[in-house]
Structure 1
């Protein structure tokens, strides 16, 4: 037993995973985990990308989705140790009672850089079969983490986003590697290496990719001549543009333009937009399907696919177009493969109002009338929803939307995710002061430990949890175990509403209307002092 708050650490499992060049592995943590590596890897979790080198170690909380990719030119070994922390809960005569407690631990994703000692300890615990030895090694590992770990420096993560944003806004201008490196504060040679590691292609290849993708949109939405479109996307020479276009897509610009009203569409996301303009996609990817419970009746006939679906299956579907989100730019090999099956359209992942996005995709896919009809429907139903909530707004009660990840992290979303814009702006509902000032006004998502949730509580709380790993079904149990949740006024008053991430993750197009209907339905039901599931 350590002297730290009467704490016991107990190992549950250790594992050793080998990754070949560019190979990936993914899992969800069931308990606390230490992870270390003998080579360069990229770890993606909770929307943050961590670059780890040999002998770097990271602590990962429970309930976290983790994806690890090898960045080395040779085989890499990943060592993980799964464990639990127990603290003394009851000290009576002849009886000590301990309970699982993850308080006072380093934060998820905190890293110890380049510690050969820590790397050695995590490897040694792999070979120990004696519980007392395992506990000793865990205490040593935890001691080092408490003393040496630091929050992961997210500068790299945000730097690549800043670079991509700048390139998206200036792709039609002359962009050189040297100028981009200077603007972003990088040495030119490092910038090239960093960019290729992050995106899987060179700066020059990326610029060409986004220019061609912007040209595709202009070819479908306008009657502009090819040479005009070439200049609009940054090519002074229209013949060079046409050669580049064919090299990237396998088609000339004129051939691409011929399919202005595609019928058979594969969607890697964006199904809410397609449904809004009357399209049921021929196929959707697994990730989109997982988070489309709210649209099930609209997708009943859609085939479920993934990145590994064989080409002959794709080709048998006789697709007119494939739609992918712009974060697929980090998967250039996949985009190249899909281009050989059908024309690929790359759309922005998020950040726009549903009306704007529906009008945009309506123009892109030759369905402007359908898009205009949907916008009228959106305006009509939005007004009806506001009218229904008029007496609610007069009471001045606050409403907010939150998301629980793992055991102890709460996300509060700004306007660009999880239906937040439609809750606060379209329906005109009042957020708590703390969320208004720290999340909505600066328009930035905010993450807090669960223990601070009371500082941001609303009179009515929509609380998103994942159903995929059983969190939604276990919500009642979590309430029983969490003093923080039980003490919330919304819980006591019956105005705490657990909702599924699988229904709330995306809010584009038709989803926005369905989410608003959920908001209105819940807020107008009688409140009971119990947990209410939507």
Structure 2
């Protein structure tokens, strides 16, 4: 892939097959595979079920038993690409030696939903093409897959991450495609192609998008004149800014400003912060709903939506505002479609403290008092939680958060995800030295093979696994089958705590209080030498 200088992708086979109505086929992968379909199918991979709809794509690791069944009332076409990835093992004199290496591939079962671009690339790569052409197509496929399968804060191509960070910090300045390409070390034409393939829009459109979105925040939070806001976000001509704003949003800046205290809000993310402000979303996307078990009462009347929900449904809800995280910039068609129906507010997601986010959202939504009241409650509960763990901290025992993905990967999280900030910073708990040195101090997540977990073990281990694909339910079985897990001292001492991804996935707003309560609950109980499910 282009993001790794010493990595080579080599296609082994591309194939197309047709499944008749309700037909089931099975096979065993010998190498990594990307699979996509033009209709609905169900995959069973070693007891875990995945449902794909048209133009969804999935990565399957090597040595995985796959059963696939058509769910469609018409024949379904299945497209697969099998490949190998090699990395440079040694660079001896006059000789380069490469070895098979799958470490940085996406996890087994990683999904990219509804990407027409990825679907078309998988269909187009052919065994009849030259090796160079195949490698180019594979690079394009893997770049899009690795970018779209994760939000910005988790796993983004380094060059894109660098570019987006620069644009976020300098959007108010004069920016040209030529200057950006030069600054980032790209040839201008390649830079344009690379950016559009990665983000789904041109760099010019992206700059316009973030400028308009920053202007929206100023319109909601201040009484500044339109021409002042235009200059603040990078437009010297306020009339041009107003035309661009209307073109992007279907509304003038003044019309958007009238929506200062929205009541009926759709949430593509941020449910925890909205609840902290006393707001029950009218509707939320399916991903947010699946990871909001702790809010069942507050969200009982919220409608579940997704990017395929028809326009008529959105219109019928009479929404005042849609809130979307900035990683949805990779879905410009969705943002454009929603803008035609209801005002849209794009917010940065991930990496910040719950208090900062709630205060910021409170200012944007006209609920500053509610935000300040919640912050007082958060601080009170935080102090209470710290006091309850004072004896635990005196013992000097370590605690850490891990996440199991696929069959053989463990993620160790830094401060920006999975409640890690609140375990280590807010509650003041001590991490293992290896995690402190390699994860927390550089403030970057780490991915390790399961076999190395012992190098990063803690006295108390919060081990995140997903319910959706069956991992949580199979945890006891996995413990029995894994020598690595079974031999951990935390397992033997009863201080190994499997927890649900669906509860720990997000940690914004009210969720932070919930997660701290879970930490305190487990660490305050008497340990038993058995696996304890939360």
* TM-score for the superposition, normalised by structure 2: 0.78
The equivalent residue for 2:208 is 208
Report if the CA contact (8 A) 2:57-2:119 is conserved.
no
Displacement of 1:293:
1.3
The equivalent residue for 2:226 is 226
1:298 and 1:18, CA in 2 relative to 1: closer, same or farther beyond 3 A? closer
1:266 and 1:436, CA in 2 relative to 1: closer, same or farther beyond 3 A? same
Tell which structure's C-alpha radius of gyration is larger.
1
Report if the CA contact (8 A) 2:28-2:63 is conserved.
no
Matches within 5 A, 1:326-475: 326-475=326-475
Local SS of the residue matching 1:506: coil
Displacement of 1:415:
0.2
The equivalent residue for 1:94 is none
For the residues of structure 2 that align with 1:238 and 1:216, how far apart are their CA atoms? 14
Matches within 5 A, 1:50-69: 63-67=108-112, 69=115
Local SS of the residue matching 2:351: coil
Displacement of 1:15:
10
Displacement of 1:508:
0.3
The answer to whether 1:77 aligns with 2:123 is yes
For the residues of structure 2 that align with 1:75 and 1:483, how far apart are their CA atoms? 40
Displacement of 1:66:
3.0
Q: Deviations over 1:456-487 (max 9, x none)?
A: 10000000000001100110000000000011
The answer to whether 1:24 aligns with 2:55 is yes
* TM-score for the superposition, normalised by structure 1: 0.78
Report if the CA contact (8 A) 2:461-2:497 is conserved.
yes
Unaligned runs of 5+ in 2: 1-25, 40-53, 67-77, 84-100, 136-144, 148-154
Report if the CA contact (8 A) 1:499-1:533 is conserved.
yes
For the residues of structure 2 that align with 1:446 and 1:37, how far apart are their CA atoms? 32
For the residues of structure 1 that align with 2:64 and 2:125, how far apart are their CA atoms? 10
For the residues of structure 1 that align with 2:533 and 2:37, how far apart are their CA atoms? 42
Local SS of the residue matching 2:503: helix
1:74 and 1:294, CA in 2 relative to 1: closer, same or farther beyond 3 A? closer
For the residues of structure 2 that align with 1:73 and 1:427, how far apart are their CA atoms? 45
Q: Deviations over 1:164-198 (max 9, x none)?
A: 11000000000100111011100001101111111
Q: Deviations over 1:351-408 (max 9, x none)?
A: 1100000000000000000000000000000000000000000000000000000111
The equivalent residue for 2:28 is 12
CA RMSD of aligned residues (A): 3.3
Local SS of the residue matching 2:281: coil
1:310 and 1:160, CA in 2 relative to 1: closer, same or farther beyond 3 A? same
The equivalent residue for 1:297 is 297
Report if the CA contact (8 A) 1:18-1:75 is conserved.
no
Unaligned runs of 5+ in 1: 1-9, 42-56, 81-112, 119-151
For the residues of structure 2 that align with 1:33 and 1:258, how far apart are their CA atoms? 55
Q: Deviations over 1:238-265 (max 9, x none)?
A: 0110010011111110110011000000
For the residues of structure 2 that align with 1:524 and 1:492, how far apart are their CA atoms? 18
